[in-house]
Structure 1
């Protein structure tokens, strides 16, 4: 795939950007997503140079990544990722909005006081209005409730999602960090309200199998809902990055909020080494194998990656080249990761 040079701040997308990507239906819906989606969680806050953020978006779109995933609280500071994405979208993608799927979320703390967190109707709809303003958009393609709120009636939260769609401010809705039983109850409410609920966003990786045990994966399959996985590389543990110490430019050193040095136990390092050896036998890097392990799963619609450099996006895209695993390889991965 060729990439059109970007000169003088202008951007012309690569003309062959769709030729090597096979898009997947999001559950039983009509919406298709690329196998790899670009997340704005870590690297689109104000600490990242604007030029770097711009190049990440250019590289993604040039290679068929049409889905950009955000949330109201992504930064740092909260709101910064949406604000920076809005600048990029308005300057470079205004003529390509119809080719993009833009998603955002609300559910975690966004502003102080009782109305800036969790799952109330007031919070969700107020947050969506603010997200649209920061993004400079009339609508988002997918609006998620970011996490369950046991202290707000599920009818109220789902009703707010229904209002987001009926008002034209969202085309589809999604749920994030729900378990199977709560997903089923929410889906029943949304069906009664005729809301196009199509996708679940959950943490899933070789090292984190929670959705296999809490019913989310099985419920999504039965109900015909897509799954988008976040943290597919376990915050960088499912790479060869930490096999020989902790690099100074690593996430642990640069941003210890989500991955701490204490995670690198001797047991975990041993697992990483064994998985890295298996990936080498497959002709892949560990990161490629970890993504391919997810992409081989028919229940997974798309895998959400983060990137601090354009080259990381290109490296991650290589995972799609080999998503076939023998049963022996799958059993070996299970034994290593659960042992």
Structure 2
């Protein structure tokens, strides 16, 4: 489903924070803040996760020179059970809250909802984004951290990061959300939680193809098409799918993945980065900066999410996935 925003809501401010290991990220210089303690000096990983969300949102509001009482909605989610870190952050922010779960695609689904509220005139300002904290997420979806199990080369590293954006009425001086595609749930029967990129690639292919077709666009209409956290292997699978569909190899140079690039070529992170905070931190730092400076004029951001839970995995279920996309332009 493709939505075209007639009023072109704008991203008026952005903020991204990350943990200590994320100093190794190639996007490090674009982040607003790096903390030296994975737990943000809190007692638990989940409390640190919540603190990280608060810090990212406070950076957004400080940049826009507004207070929490000026914001109409807070739209966010994470990967912990019942999104408790986000819920507690919402409690402290004291902003009307809509919790969203699209797994790692929440970085985009939250912006879509914020843009819809703005388009309808129901919101003047909304803060939207997503986050992840390595220790809290890894122990839920993979082996417990203390188990010390060897991960295969297809596995990805959950980042500790949060990225948020302030969405408001159109302002030509800022990047604008001109269209969005809400993706379907796609399931190719993959059951391996250590190969998320392969599971999510078909969902990214479905959403990007739908967006381009319904918008009557081609790859070269964009300066960049970036997926969220397919990682190195998932990105290659996605490129293969596009080649098989008739897309030329030279056009695929425009296709990049935040997870594949996040830690550069450091093999310690295996197939790359993942987590709801991966795409959020890259999109709402590096990408926004490139739009503001004029390097990019039109980008398509497509975040992917694997919709499994610890229970569904234990019961032997396959991994249904989704992908949502937004088209950003800079006048």
Q: TM-score, normalised by structure 1?
A: 0.29
- Identify, as 1 or 2, the structure richer in strand: 2
Which structure: larger Rg? 1
Greater RCO structure (CA 8 Å; 6+ sep) = 2
Q: TM-score, normalised by structure 2?
A: 0.29
